[in-house]
């Protein structure tokens, strides 16, 4: 029905009880179908409010479809390395395409996201936990990259990068939080962001690509260092526990 145009994005579909009799099925069966479409992000239900057709422009099937799978990857070491490995290519493409195709609205969005990152990154050092309304730094950073992906005018690329972002976040949210609290890292990240943004603004695709790659390499290295440190910490703790157990066992 959505495909045939009976329901436009944003429309509210008939109530379950109504649609069920219209389709000649029970409400249970209809609900199971709606659940599936909701999982794909095509429908969204609000209790008491109704069920609405998602705007296809902003449907993010990858993200929504992958979300329930995230726990599977939480534990896996190396999973985030796979993601970052891909992002080096995808972000590079996105930056290059954005440099070639971004219109004024795109550039404005990128600038806004970049500025938001700057102010957050640079003010973080002075007033630590200031406004609770402010988004987490990781979210702002992700938003900047997503604005570039959107400016690439490649919907598949945009959706995949959105999905990967969600996966990465659920995979190593702790390390991501740590990343922005390292000394001098926010300043460096902001510099790299500006370099990418300037290249896109100037329409220099190759330069944007190179800047994106070096940015991702930097982030990857930092994350690797954080992971290694936390692993070292774990081993140390375990060793200490072991030692304590031995001492207690010998009173």
Partner DNA sequence: CTGTTTATATTGGTATGACCATTTATGCAT
Partner DNA sequence: ATGCATAAATGGTCATACCAATATAAACAG
Q: Which of 19, 20, 30, 39 binds a second copy (CB under 8 A)?
A: 39
Pair of tokens at residue 245: 């157990």
Angle at alpha carbon of residue 97, lines to 91 and 99, rounded to 5° = 100
3-state secondary structure 72-134: HHHCCCCHHHHHHHHHHHHHHHHHHHHHHHCCHHHHHHHHHHHHHHHHHHHHCCCCCCCCCCC
Piece of 12-20, 39-47, 116-124, 191-199 that binds a second copy (CB under 8 A): 39-47
- φ, ψ for residue 52, nearest 5 deg: -120, 150
Indicate which of a second copy, DNA, none lies near residue 155 (CB less than 5 to 8 Å, by partner kind): a second copy
Residue with smaller CB distance to DNA, 15 or 191: 15
Q: What distance in Å separates the CA atoms of residue 138 and residue 147, rounded to the nearest whole number?
A: 14
Contact between 6 and DNA per CB under 7 A: no
53 has which bridge partners? 43
Select the residue interacting with DNA from 1, 15, 112, 191 (CB under 7 A).
15
Chain residues 114-133 in contact with DNA, contact rule CB under 7 A? none
228 interacts with a second copy by CB under 8 A: no
Closest distance between a second copy and the C-beta of residue 37, in Å? 8
Tokens of 162: 């959105």
| Subset of residues 25 to 84 that bind DNA, contact rule: CB under 7 A | 25-29, 31-32, 34, 45-51
31 binds a second copy (CB under 8 A): yes
> By the criterion CB under 7 A, which residues form the site for DNA?
13, 15-18, 24-29, 31-32, 34, 45-51
């Amino acid at each position: 029905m959505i495909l045939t145009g009976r329901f436009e994005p944003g429309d509210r579909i008939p109530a379950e009880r109504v649609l069920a009799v219209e389709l000649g099925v029970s409400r249970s069966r209809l609900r199971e179908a709606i659940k599936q479409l909701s999982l794909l992000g095509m429908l969204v239900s609000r209790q008491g409010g109704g069920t609405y057709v998602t705007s296809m422009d902003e449907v993010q099937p990858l993200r929504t479809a992958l979300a329930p799978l995230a726990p599977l990857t939480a534990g896996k070491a190396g999973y985030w390395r796979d993601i970052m490995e891909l992002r080096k290519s995808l972000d590079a493409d996105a930056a290059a395409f954005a440099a070639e195709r971004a219109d004024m609205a795109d550039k404005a969005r990128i600038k806004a996201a970049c500025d938001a990152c700057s102010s957050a990154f640079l003010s973080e050092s002075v007033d630590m936990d200031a406004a609770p309304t402010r988004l987490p730094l990781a979210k702002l950073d992700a938003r900047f990259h997503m604005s570039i992906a959107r400016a690439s005018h490649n919907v598949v690329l945009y959706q995949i990068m959105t999905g990967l972002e969600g996966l990465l976040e659920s995979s190593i949210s702790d390390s991501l939080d740590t990343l922005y609290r390292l000394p001098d890292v926010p300043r460096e990240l902001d510099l790299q962001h500006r370099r990418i943004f300037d290249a896109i603004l100037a329409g220099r695709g190759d330069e944007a690509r190179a800047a994106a790659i070096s940015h991702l390499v930097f982030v990857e290295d930092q994350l690797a260092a954080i992971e290694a440190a936390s692993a070292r910490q774990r081993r140390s703790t375990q060793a200490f526990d072991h030692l304590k157990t031995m001492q207690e066992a010998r009173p």
